[in-house]
A and B are shown apart, each in its own frame.
Chain A
């Protein structure tokens, strides 16, 4: 293997340090035996044990996951439908307006989105809880889904749908049996994106959550305001581990598929020769 130049080694080290040093420190201190976050007093898993006992945190985690699953699923359905209409609907009245407006939440400051949703929920008399957070998260994450799905639909060979119609499918059957399986990877990554966004969100959730339901980011944020506790470090480490496992699995699956596709193509070329 070629030796890297000093310049490359330095820039790589700096880059990684910027990205990962804070997280590494957080992970290390989550195993700190001391109650004081900044003083190292030996290795311990004590805070993980205490975390499991802490019902407020566990409740918040459960709410967060429920909200993330529901809102990302709803956002995926709505976002895919919107993307399909925008890419396939042809020219209809208000298309430009609609396609511009669907992307507006991408650039809208979250505070404004949160505040307007709060006003809406109060206006229609909806009690703030899991339902309102789900609705709010769906609102802002569906545009991300529709961006991901429509970029896939643009490159989708339209004659595949026509072939399905030609072979006797109704419009819905053509979508269900041909379009959806082919764009599935984009739909799934849209879902994952929406899921992550919902998991992270603090601002919008703090506007739309009520006393009956609090999400984990809100819980962590309010706990940190009273001082960083080692429990929070443990919780954050668990979240980092979950995300890391997810990302690594996804990239391994993608890589394996790419290798298999390449092998298939080579086999086909051999068969042709």
Chain B
């Protein structure tokens, strides 16, 4: 049995649902979106990820029609939507504050958009009931928004924005107001609903875990530009810059100068008086070029004895131990003063741990464990 991987972005014949073409948005002097070009495909669950003020919300509001475009064009199914007002777009939005109408019942909130389309009563009834069922809110149809819990409000907002069966659903920090446990459950619910309705979802979030969990592709943004667009696994394993590596998950960055030692192999001089680090990469570096080695903490091994088989092994001293239950993170100080984080799974009981504060330890990793970055 062959399983086709959902990856329309790799297919050059696939037409994108949304196309940003050199889009720029200015608020007075401030450039919120800077010459941005991006394709989003049908049935994608696309995440815009970045710190606050990076322009992700502005992008979403331009898609919804609440912000005009200063330069460039935005296409939906091949048509320019730059001048289409929000009420004429086949795009719906789920607001961060949910924006439920407080004077209407849950049922009327969901029916609101359908009524604007002058649908028949039986059609509206059927669609609202379907939406209530999808979001497991059958029992709450007659309640007012202030009579239900935060998690239920979130589902009403989702049901209301999906009721008109939009081509594209925009979700602005949809889970920001929920507590952690509920948020995790709701993430999976969102994915199920996205899959069962086949709607294209674009989600805005500053929570990298959330983006990684729900999205088919993630765009990491900074200062109005997209730094990298890729699948969650690619973003994590092959970040294209120190910014992305640092933004997604935990990472150690070692600054060094590169010297080629073979095909795709480099010796990295990171500090005087210490043996160089060996790293493999497909990127070409010239002799003496500045390079940054990014290594995830879980890819670094920690041991009391010097390992024989590792490509890189450095000795240091345990500065700190962060015990997280399932994992422990060791902060190891190297001779030059730099602190490297190494993470191990706690497969043993804590009482039997053999490394403690101030212990001299060896940290080691393979030549391919890290990513060598230019900037």
Chain A residues in contact with chain B, CB under 8 A? 157, 159-160, 162-170, 173, 177-178, 181-182, 261, 264-265, 267-269, 271-272
Asked if B86 lies at the interface with its beta carbon under 8 angstroms from chain A, I say: yes
Contacts of B66 in A (CB 8 A): 162, 165
Point out the residues of chain B lying under 8 angstroms from A267, CB to CB. Answer: 147
Chain B nearest CB from A250 CB (Å) reads 20
A163 touches B87 (CB 8 A): no
A166 near B147 with CB under 8 A, answer no
Q: With a CB–CB cut-off of 8 A, which chain B residues contact A164? A: 101, 112
A–B Cβ pairs within 8 angstroms, 15 of them: A157-B97, A159-B99, A163-B101, A165-B87, A166-B65, A166-B92, A168-B164, A169-B116, A170-B87, A178-B101, A264-B144, A265-B146, A268-B148, A269-B149, A271-B148
Q: Please, which residues of chain B bring their CB within 8 A of the CB of A182?
A: 101-103
Evaluate contact between A167 and B95: CB separation under 8 angstroms: no
B64 within 8 Å of A (CB atoms): yes
Neighbouring A residues of B99 by C-beta, 8 Å: 157, 159-160, 162-163
Q: Which of B139-196 contact A (CB under 8 A)?
A: 144, 146-152, 160-161, 164
B272 CB within 8 Å of chain A: no
Q: Does B106 sit at the interface, judged by CB under 8 A?
A: no
Interface residues of B (CB under 8 A from A): 64-66, 85-87, 91-93, 95-97, 99, 101-103, 112-113, 116-117, 144, 146-152, 160-161, 164
- Cβ of A169 and Cβ of B87 under 8 Å apart? yes
Chain A interface, DSSP helix/strand/loop, else mixed: helix
Q: B87 contacts which chain A residues (CB < 8 A)?
A: 165-170
Measured CB to CB, the nearest residue on chain A to B150 is A272
With A165-B87, A167-B116, A272-B151 known as contacts, the answer to whether A264 contacts B146 (CB < 8 A) is: yes
Closest to B97 in A: A159
Quick one: given A268-B149, A271-B148, are A166 and B64 in contact (CB under 8 Å)?
A: yes
Q: How far is the CA of A168 from the CA of B116 in the complex (A)?
A: 6
Q: How far is the CA of A267 from the CA of B147 in the complex (A)?
A: 7
Whole-angstrom distance between the alpha carbons of A57 and B150 in the complex?
58
Cβ of B182 to closest chain A Cβ, rounded Å? 10
Across the interface, A166 reaches (CB within 8 A) one of B86, B146, B152, namely: B86
A221 to chain B, nearest CB (A): 44
Chain B residues closer than 8 Å to A268, beta-carbon distance: 146-149
- The residue on B at minimum CB distance from A178 is B101
Bound: A163/B102 CA distance, A: 12
A265 surroundings in chain B (CB, below 8 A): 146
Q: Ordered nearest first, which 6 A-B pairs have the shortest CB separation?
A: A272-B149, A167-B113, A168-B116, A163-B99, A159-B99, A165-B86
Say how far B206's CB is from chain A's closest CB, in angstroms.
18
Nearest opposing residue in chain B for A264, CB measure? B147
Known contacts A163-B99, A169-B116, A269-B149; 19 further A-B pairs (Cβ under 8 A): A159-B96, A159-B97, A159-B99, A162-B99, A163-B95, A163-B101, A164-B112, A165-B86, A167-B87, A167-B112, A167-B116, A168-B113, A168-B117, A169-B87, A178-B101, A182-B101, A261-B146, A264-B144, A268-B148
